[in-house]
Amino acid sequence: QTGPVIDMPVPASFNDITQDPSLENYIGWVWYEKEVLLPVRWLQGDPAPRVVLRFGSAHYYSIVWVNGVQVVEHEGGHLPFEADISSVVQGSPGTLCRITVALNNTLTPHTLPPGSIQYMTDKSRYPKNYFVQNIQFDFFNYAGIHRPVVLYTTPAAYIDDITVTTTSSDSVAMVQYQVSVVGSTASSLSLSLRDQEGKVVATADGPVGELKVLNPNLWWPYLMHENPGYLYSLEVKMQAQVGGALLEDVYTLPVGVRTVHVTSTQFLINGKPFYFHGVNKHEDADIRGKGLDWPLIVKDFNLLRWLGANSFRTSHYPYAEEIMDLCDAYGIVVIDESPGVGIKLLESFGNRSLQHHLAVMEELIRRDKNRPSVVMWSVANEPASELPPAAHYFKTVIAHTKALDPSRPVTFVTNANYALDHGAPYVDVICVNSYFSWYHDPGHLEVIPLQLTAQFENWYKTYQKPIIQSEYGADSVPGLHSDPPLMFSEEYQVAMLREYHSVFDKKRKEYVIGELIWNFADFMTNQGTIRVLGNKKGIFTRQRQPKAAAFVLRDRYWKIANESSCLPPVITSHSLFL
């Protein structure tokens, strides 16, 4: 016996697909089911191949069955998980394979992101058993199977994991690697590194070692080099004897040769100062919600490059692997953020929450550790880091992250007072969000120079660490105009940006190493008295059309790029879409 059954596309959020308002804001369990016919060759052989069911992501808590047999449970809405289903499907070739997923989007004080369920007990005002999902973050809690679901096979013995790190000097690069094999204790491994023309530039054997590359092409960010995002291909080939059969598994990993180093005033990529001029984004669009959509992804990258943006933060959760692949290929630098947004309640700093946060960082780093575009991990956004338990919490999460990946700096993004922040001592780069003349002193643009300058000087005096303005911005309703500028007009958004930029220009000569606008595009939020069909702080509309602020930012970003680049200058004007 089930409830109503409807067609639901995958990948997609389920919220905006139908005309049913109860599904739009639904909290609780939903069920997905699909039947597929597996190729007969997947189910035969001695040893038979290993059959794996993989989810790119599903929000938030998933239980998966195959032919009525539970194969995996997973907590967390933004990272992949998979199950070896060989024992369930082999032995019945030619019959349909039924995949069932139960999905629950409820957020509690111990989930990541956290939330809480509030029951309304006043029967004179609310129906029986009425409850609401409270959240402490400003974006819509879309739910569903958001990323692709695939079935794939490997041999019974297979390459399970690869870890790559790189070092380089002017004329030589070293690619350190570690490969783990599962299913055989007697396997051999051979590795070959190819350049973009397909030429083999280095080879090695064995599970641990290094490849030496002479005169390497380094991985450079967009606008920092005429050939950004240079990727080699590392082909890893395994051979193993299992039950008298010779098995072979091959995996090809894109590899970018680049180094990252942080000083007290600079962020260095390949030894050269890098200035983040970029955006914060969301996985968010009409109809599909957070569902993966290739046309949207490619459109967004075209807009980023038009804008002259060299970077973005994955606010406020890990983005799809398909997006990260393009960052690697295009040279777009990424601050890779965990779903640790809205950690506000005291109980969300307890041991149960902490253990889950550590597990999420393990999943994130396992997924993205080999990506040259990822230059820094962010473990959280705007937590209540002024609370005393935040000291132990962030000391532990950051130490765990660094132990898993010693090659990258770690941060979290704060909006706490510099003198009260218990987590800041443990970060490598200070990332600060502030909304002067918007949430504070609304309408008073004249306070920005004083307040923003004081913000930077106080943080730097306290910590002597480089600073990124990780969020700033103003809502603007497209087509709403006012001169003199008034809040919510396109002119006010432009005026606020210009005030911030004048301070950035002074401080980037010292220790400010980046600016990330909030936000790339308008996005959906919960309904509220300060939200008109979502958050309107985008420089593009939700449909990816530019507001006035997009042109201002474009002029600025290309100017900054031309200052610091060896590339020929690019002419920008509002009439030239280069």
**What is the mean predicted confidence (pLDDT) over 558-577?**
64
**269 in a structural domain:** no
Instruction: Render pLDDT for 515-563 as a digit per residue (tens, 0 to 9).
Output: 999 999 999 999 999 899 999 999 999 999 999 999 999 999 999 999 8
In angstroms, the Cα distances linking 498 to 478, 480, 509, 561 are 18, 19, 17, 18
> E-strand spans in 439-511?
467-471
The SS3 of residue 490 is helix
**What is the mean predicted confidence (pLDDT) over 4-28?**
95
**192 in a structural domain:** yes
pLDDT interval class at 510 (50, 70, 90):
very high
The overall average pLDDT reported for the chain is 95
The SS3 of residue 126 is coil
Question: Where among 120, 154, 188 does a domain terminate?
Answer: 154
Which pLDDT score is estimated for 157? 97
Q: Which residue in 230, 310, 235 sits closest to 274, CA to CA?
A: 310
Which pLDDT score is estimated for 544? 98
pLDDT interval class at 4 (50, 70, 90):
confident
- Residue 446 has a CB neighbour count (10 Å cut-off) of 10
- State how many domains the chain has: 3
Q: Which residues are catalytic, by number?
A: 382
Pairing type for strands 311-313 and 333-337 reads parallel
For the cut 90, the answer to whether the pLDDT of residue 196 exceeds it is: yes
CA torsion through residues 485, 490, 494, 500, sign: positive
Instruction: Render pLDDT for 325-337 as a digit per residue (tens, 0 to 9).
Output: 999 999 999 999 9
Pairing type for strands 276-280 and 311-313 reads parallel
Q: Are 31 and 78 contained in the same domain?
A: yes
**77 in a structural domain:** yes
Q: Are 346 and 209 contained in the same domain?
A: no
Q: Are 140 and 189 contained in the same domain?
A: no
Q: Which residue in 134, 68, 64 sits closest to 104, CA to CA?
A: 64
Question: Where among 211, 227, 255 does a domain terminate?
Answer: 255
Between 568 and 509, the more confident residue is: 509
Q: How far apart are CA 100 and CA 66, in angstroms?
A: 6
Which pLDDT score is estimated for 44? 86
Q: Are 118 and 234 contained in the same domain?
A: no
For the cut 70, the answer to whether the pLDDT of residue 575 exceeds it is: no
**What is the mean predicted confidence (pLDDT) over 119-134?**
95
Q: Are 148 and 166 contained in the same domain?
A: no
The pTM assigned to this predicted structure is 0.96
Q: Are 282 and 183 contained in the same domain?
A: no
For the cut 70, the answer to whether the pLDDT of residue 574 exceeds it is: no
What is the extent of the structural domain holding 209? 158-255
Instruction: Render pLDDT for 376-395 as a digit per residue (tens, 0 to 9).
Output: 999 999 999 999 999 999 99
Q: How far apart are CA 384 and CA 3, in angstroms?
A: 40
Q: Are 207 and 280 contained in the same domain?
A: no
Q: Are 295 and 419 contained in the same domain?
A: yes
Lowest-pLDDT choice from 114-128, 192-206, 372-386, 556-570? 556-570
Q: Are 378 and 440 contained in the same domain?
A: yes
Question: Where among 95, 128, 154 does a domain terminate?
Answer: 154
Tokens of 518: 């909030």
The SS3 of residue 227 is coil
Which pLDDT score is estimated for 576? 40
Identify the CATH number of the domain in which residue 355 sits.
3.20.20.80
Which pLDDT score is estimated for 37? 95
Q: How far apart are CA 536 and CA 384, in angstroms?
A: 25
Give the amino acid at 155.
P
Which pLDDT score is estimated for 573? 47
**462 in a structural domain:** yes
**227 in a structural domain:** yes
Q: Are 179 and 322 contained in the same domain?
A: no
In angstroms, the Cα distances linking 208 to 139, 162, 291, 414 are 43, 10, 38, 39
Identify the CATH number of the domain in which residue 33 sits.
2.60.120.260
Which pLDDT score is estimated for 577? 39
Instruction: Render pLDDT for 127-137 as a digit per residue (tens, 0 to 9).
Output: 999 999 999 99
Q: Are 103 and 221 contained in the same domain?
A: no
**574 in a structural domain:** no
Which pLDDT score is estimated for 169? 85
**90 in a structural domain:** yes
For the cut 60, the answer to whether the pLDDT of residue 566 exceeds it is: no
For the cut 90, the answer to whether the pLDDT of residue 94 exceeds it is: no
Identify the CATH number of the domain in which residue 197 sits.
2.60.40.10
**341 in a structural domain:** yes
Which pLDDT score is estimated for 1? 60
Give the amino acid at 339.
P
**What is the mean predicted confidence (pLDDT) over 70-91?**
96
Q: Are 248 and 368 contained in the same domain?
A: no
